[in-house]
Chains A and B, each alone.
Chain A
């Protein structure tokens, strides 16, 4: 059983503002039955742009119900501008935290609020799944949603991305794409945080064979192998011949239909970014 805070339990057992709001002038709807949770948020906003009333309907678990309940409490009395600044962190924070596996419930609250505000401003609301490239087909999550979750919540692993967005929580076929997005976004963020990705800080202009060898094995050991290991896979560096890097996939990666994709999209791409742009990956026969 999940460990819930008293606040979560309270809002789950006695949710505030349940139901439809007949005179709502802003309605936001996110999620679906197929995904296992959905939220419909109704807002009544007055002429001065103040949210006078808020109600919700939720299909989902205890955290989804509690997050929705808190959301309605948080937005009441706020101006639309103030409401717009609310994030999933505010929702989870108000509840005294959510189990990490349930953080996506708070994200659903934030998305429903955004959808309702768009609806209020007369913008046609496009479900988040409609923006950007669809990454997770099981749960209809796009690259934009994933990038945003990584940035706003400082996510570091694919597992965390799943906890916040659900992406990767089904068949798992999108995990490699999630890893790619993680590397990309965290790469962007690195200079600001002062944490450069592995191997980037001391990359010389022209590499000697020894330097190349050291750098390749460092990136494989510190970045690529841990991400493959999470899915039960592994990789072994077999040889380096000039710019040709020969590797062998191990564990769950052996015989995986996406093995070629892994080699090209994850291994080769990352080595090109961090070591040399002309590196070519070859699989040992």
Chain B
């Protein structure tokens, strides 16, 4: 039976892979039998359930192989957020006498808001700043760690700017001082090599849907010997570390996705990176008064956060949408809040640029033709919106924008 012609599908140029990714066909293929015929409960004693349990174990081994750790150090969760929350919950409740936490201003809300909650409960928190490229100063980290620090939590790479943090060095500092180190590696896994063999980290969070597995599955690495307190209380699943019947098909999908991610690292750092650079060069060459948000050197190979002066992100996104181009914006108007993203604010990106920021994030499926479409269309969109803006260079309001820009820079560096 025909399901209609393939061209009925919308033409999509999907460049928002830091938000989510498409499920890889190989992943889907492995999952499908476990959504249909093999529906046994992995905890059951019968062999029908045992088959599912066996596949979950294989997934655990695949995740462990991709991370370079022992399978017993992998706990499956429902998402990156649960992994982050579990790590922090575990670290603080295992050492109740320690009442201080070190983290950064640019963490994902999964860490940011959990730490804020702990702050409200009386924990003291050192919020580490970043510089204009979104980089951390290692000296700040060193100074922040105290005798009563319960945990240091620093993301491996930032989802918006793509800036990669020196987690190895931070982990080593923590180890030296005997403080647990957690890293949210949701954006790093699959994009840069993550090998936990000899890596000084105690908890690491990852998420399935950022690496071509489905949404609703994640994993937490917990180093052997680390004190652990479950976040989800229930049955004996995950060796008592996370109650609840396993999301079997998704876990199996995650295992396959991790295998593919490890195999694809090379491609990510050569072909995908070259496409990202082509996009960056094309846009910077065609659009004046643009700037790159993020570390020029240590940045995720798939991520380009770029800001255009005088215009606003949502308007650009909607016009890009006309061409089927999916990106995201750090601007306020797209997010439901009114201020630009906390990451861009922490980086001190002036308001003049922050409101007009776009993030493109590529994947293994991105093609050269797609990149060329963006390079062809976006400059026209920017020009069109700038022509409409009272702040554009030829406007009488230009004097005002300079004053506002100056005040914005001042404000953002407060």
Contact = CB atoms under 8 A, between A and B. Distances in A.
B307 interface: no
A186 interface: no
A33 B331 contact: no
Contacts of A44: none
Contacts of A255: 120, 122
B390 A29 contact: yes
Given A57-B388, A255-B120, A36 B312 contact: yes
Contacts of B314: 2, 61-62
B151 interface: no
Nearest to B389: A59
Nearest to A99: B336
Given A34-B411, A61-B313, 5 more contacts: A1-B321, A33-B401, A33-B408, A61-B315, A255-B122
B120 A59 contact: no
Interface string B403-414: 011011001000
Interface string A30-60: 0011101111100000000000000001111
Given A33-B351, A34-B411, A61-B312, A39 B338 contact: no
Interface of A: 1-2, 12-13, 15, 18-20, 29, 32-34, 36-40, 57-62, 64-65, 101-102, 138-139, 162, 166, 169-170, 232, 251-252, 254-255
Closest 6 CB pairs of A and B: A169-B338, A61-B333, A57-B390, A61-B314, A40-B390, A33-B404
Most chain B beta-carbon neighbours within 10 Å: one of A19, A32, A59, A102? A59
Given A38-B391, A39-B390, A61-B333, A12 B338 contact: no
B311 to A, nearest CB: 7
Contacts of B411: 34
Interface residues of B, number: 38
Interface in B177-201: none
B316 to A, nearest CB: 10
Nearest to A137: B411
B120 A40 contact: no
B389 A57 contact: yes
Given A33-B405, A255-B122, A139 B338 contact: yes
A139 B404 CA distance: 13
Interface string B296-331: 000000000000001111110011011000000001
A232 B318 CA distance: 33
Interface in B377-414: 387-391, 395, 397, 400-401, 404-405, 407-408, 411
B315 A60 contact: yes
A170 B338 contact: yes
B388 A34 contact: no
Contact of B388 (A2, A15, A29, A139): A15
Contacts of A138: 339
B143 to A, nearest CB: 24
B338 A58 contact: no
A18 B388 contact: yes
Nearest to A37: B312
B390 A59 contact: yes
A48 B355 CA distance: 41
Contacts of B404: 32-34
B167 interface: no
A119 B411 CA distance: 31
B390 A254 contact: no
A116 B404 CA distance: 21
Contacts of B36: none
B122 to A, nearest CB: 7
A101 B404 CA distance: 24
B332 interface: yes
Contacts of B120: 232, 251-252, 254-255
A38 B333 CA distance: 13
Interface in B99-151: 120, 122
Contact of A33 (B337, B352, B388): B352
Given A62-B315, A255-B122, A36 B391 contact: no
B257 to A, nearest CB: 26
A36 B333 contact: yes
Contacts of A101: 336
Contacts of A39: 390
Contacts of B352: 33
A36 B355 contact: yes
A2 B335 CA distance: 9
Contacts of A37: 312, 333
Contact of A40 (B311, B319, B339, B397): B397
Contacts of B390: 29, 38-40, 57-59
A34 B351 contact: yes
Contacts of A32: 400, 404
10 contacts: A1-B321, A33-B351, A33-B408, A40-B390, A57-B388, A57-B389, A61-B314, A61-B315, A102-B333, A254-B122
Contacts of B321: 1
A57 B310 CA distance: 12
B331 A57 contact: no
B333 A12 contact: no
A19 B392 CA distance: 11
A57 B332 CA distance: 20
Contacts of B331: 36, 61
A152 B391 CA distance: 30
